[in-house]
Structure 1
Amino acid sequence: MDNDDRQIGTILTRREVLKLFGVAGLGVLVGCRPTRQRSPSPTALPPTAPDAASATSEATATTVPLTAPDAASATSEATATTVPLTAPDAASATSEATATTREVMALPSCVVRPAATEGPYYLDLDMLRSDVREDRVGTTLTLNFRVSQVSNNRCTPLQGALVEIWHCDANGIYSGVRDRFADTTGQSFLRGGQMTDRTGLATFSTLYPGWYPGRAVHIHFKVFPTSGLVFTSQLFFPEPFTDQLFSAPPYAAKGQRTTLNSNDGIYRAELLLSPTINGDGVEATFDIGMEL
């Protein structure tokens, strides 16, 4: 269990990410997060600074009097030259700043640097599956990984990367282990892997994880972008969202959890999911860029 908690690879800071691309590289980053640009339910997205800026820009644009050009035409050329030359420059600067902000917002929420693996990675082909629930009970979680390749000032969907997940069930039990909680050797529930498609997407049907003493609610994951490289870490959930789900069966039977994100030493804000209710279940997407 302790080895599972060890992160392999490095999460880049925002400063490192921006330095990695530079201003010239930002223009191609929009392609890393296509669904943000084409969301079927725009109202479901939380308001962001770029959206506010866009709204302000549109509102400002509508306040420009449409009769001004006609009035200018009726006046002398000398009068026309009194129009301040700095106004267009200011508007242009604002537009460029807004565009840059939008491009920055289009970065993957987490950009990482994979590390070399120790020895060959053994892949049980039977574990290549999207539905990992087996006989476990709980709230269904549709978990999407959107993997991008970050290199040469470009960010493009990464096809053929192996994504693996594993986590405990509603009672805090892992499959395939023997520990002080249970002996589940030979079982494989809530474990599996998927290869990313041409859009960089890998999707799992799993369950919202439970908890066990000493750890916040989390999901382990690995991404193998290429042979010999891996990034290993964990995903976390917002506390209010977890509280809501854990007030109902089967999670409620375990009682009050003892460790939150704030006092879990492994928690990182870059690894926090933003789950939403989707029918009878929950859905969350994790955008991750791999520096290759």
Structure 2
Amino acid sequence: MDNDDEPVGRVLSRRHALALLALTGTGLAVAGTAAQAATRTTAAPVATSVDCVAKPEMTEGPYYVDEGLERSDIRVDTLDGTISDGTRFTLDLDVLQIAAGACSALPGAIVDLWHCDAYGVYSDQAANDSVGHTFLRGYQVSDECGRVRFVTVLPGWYQGRTVHFHLKIRTIGTDGNPYEFTSQLFFTDTFNSAFLATEPYAAKGTPDTTNATDFIYLAAGEQMLLSPRRVRGGWTARFAIGLDLSDTEVGDDDSGGGPGGPGGPPPGPPPSTSPSPSASA
């Protein structure tokens, strides 16, 4: 079964990542003393209260499109102005660089987020009958603190995959070449079960795949779990992405090929373009 849902780059277990950081003296970044701060006059802001651990890459998937849409709220379809159905979700990402035994904010990085809608459909895909539509896609540029924010909706599901977001970060590596990090973000099965039982998600029926049976999640998904908290009107979560910009293997181009090779679609038929309680995709 050929598809592009195979891990790309080097996948580190959390244990190995922590061991790597221990060798360089890097762990959870904390604010230093005034004397130490004085020596960092040209450095990026030091990250505080975030998980400074190198994160694993995962597959780009077949549905990435570089729409060139710089926006925080990705719910709107620029083709017709409609807003995607679903429960509002705000995602704050801290983009960090790990180097020389320290962890600091990474400003100026291009961060793409894309995912399917409440019915399992991706925009701008012939297989989804959504060419020209741009819902649930967009990018932000990290600020001086390495932060980006996306306003979106909770994703639905489609055949063969657990609920997930796609994430791509583009910046420059320590060698001066383009650096590209691609991965996926997940929720716990408990959280998925709860919100998928609400409308409009419930109209699609019971998902056929959970984290426990999703082969991408099983590779390293526990390191990419979001911890949402309830806010008025929906949910929110904050997550830190630690990047080793000297790792040229991880920083390589993550794009896939065509169908039948590394860039082919996920297993099973394409997602349905309309909600149906009996739909299996």
Q: CA RMSD in A?
A: 2.7
How many Å separate the matches in 2 of 1:150 and 1:26?
8
Pairs within 5 Å for 1:24-103: 25-26=25-26, 29-30=29-30, 34=48, 36=49
How many Å separate the matches in 2 of 1:24 and 1:244?
41
User: How far does residue 286 in structure 1 lie from its aligned partner after superposition?
Assistant: 1.6
User: How far does residue 168 in structure 1 lie from its aligned partner after superposition?
Assistant: 0.4
SS of structure 2 residue aligned to 1:29: coil
SS of structure 1 residue aligned to 2:237: strand
* Residue matched to 1:200: 146
Could you tell me which amino acid in structure 2 is paired with residue 277 of structure 1? R
User: How far does residue 20 in structure 1 lie from its aligned partner after superposition?
Assistant: 3.4
How many Å separate the matches in 2 of 1:235 and 1:28?
21
**CA contact 2:114–2:136 (8 Å) conserved in 1:** yes
Alignment partner of 1:291 is 2:233: no
How many Å separate the matches in 2 of 1:149 and 1:26?
11
Percentage of matched positions with identical amino acids: 39
Alignment partner of 1:217 is 2:163: yes
Greater helix percent: which structure?
1
| Post-superposition CA distance 1:210-266 (Å, at most 9, x none) | 001100000111111325211111111111112221221111111111100000000
2:206 to 256, 263, 267: 256
Pairs within 5 Å for 1:1-292: 2-3=3-4, 5-22=5-22, 25-26=25-26, 29-30=29-30, 34=48, 36=49, 107-108=51-52, 110-112=53-55, 124-125=67-68, 127-134=69-76, 135-179=83-127, 182-226=128-172, 228-267=178-217, 268-292=221-245
User: How far does residue 2 in structure 1 lie from its aligned partner after superposition?
Assistant: 4.1
SS of structure 2 residue aligned to 1:30: coil
User: How far does residue 19 in structure 1 lie from its aligned partner after superposition?
Assistant: 4.1
How many Å separate the matches in 1 of 2:209 and 2:229?
22
Could you tell me which amino acid in structure 2 is paired with residue 278 of structure 1? V
**CA contact 1:114–1:291 (8 Å) conserved in 2:** no
User: How far does residue 197 in structure 1 lie from its aligned partner after superposition?
Assistant: 0.7
How many Å separate the matches in 1 of 2:56 and 2:13?
11
SS of structure 1 residue aligned to 2:113: strand
User: How far does residue 130 in structure 1 lie from its aligned partner after superposition?
Assistant: 0.6
User: How far does residue 136 in structure 1 lie from its aligned partner after superposition?
Assistant: 0.8
Gaps of 5+ in 2: 32-45, 77-82, 246-281
User: How far does residue 6 in structure 1 lie from its aligned partner after superposition?
Assistant: 4.2
**CA contact 1:11–1:111 (8 Å) conserved in 2:** no
SS of structure 1 residue aligned to 2:30: helix
Moved more, 207-216 or 271-280: 271-280
* Residue matched to 1:76: none
Residues 273 and 160 of structure 1: CA distance in aligned 2, closer, same or farther (over 3 Å): same
Q: How many residues are matched?
A: 213
TM-score (norm 2): 0.68
| Post-superposition CA distance 1:18-59 (Å, at most 9, x none) | 44343672477225653x4xxxxxxxxxxxxxxxxxxxxxxx
How many Å separate the matches in 2 of 1:24 and 1:235?
27
The structure with the larger Rg is: 1
Residues 173 and 256 of structure 1: CA distance in aligned 2, closer, same or farther (over 3 Å): same
**CA contact 2:55–2:223 (8 Å) conserved in 1:** no
Could you tell me which amino acid in structure 2 is paired with residue 269 of structure 1? E
Residues 235 and 152 of structure 1: CA distance in aligned 2, closer, same or farther (over 3 Å): same
TM-score (norm 1): 0.66
Gaps of 5+ in 1: 37-105
Residues 259 and 270 of structure 1: CA distance in aligned 2, closer, same or farther (over 3 Å): same
User: How far does residue 11 in structure 1 lie from its aligned partner after superposition?
Assistant: 3.7
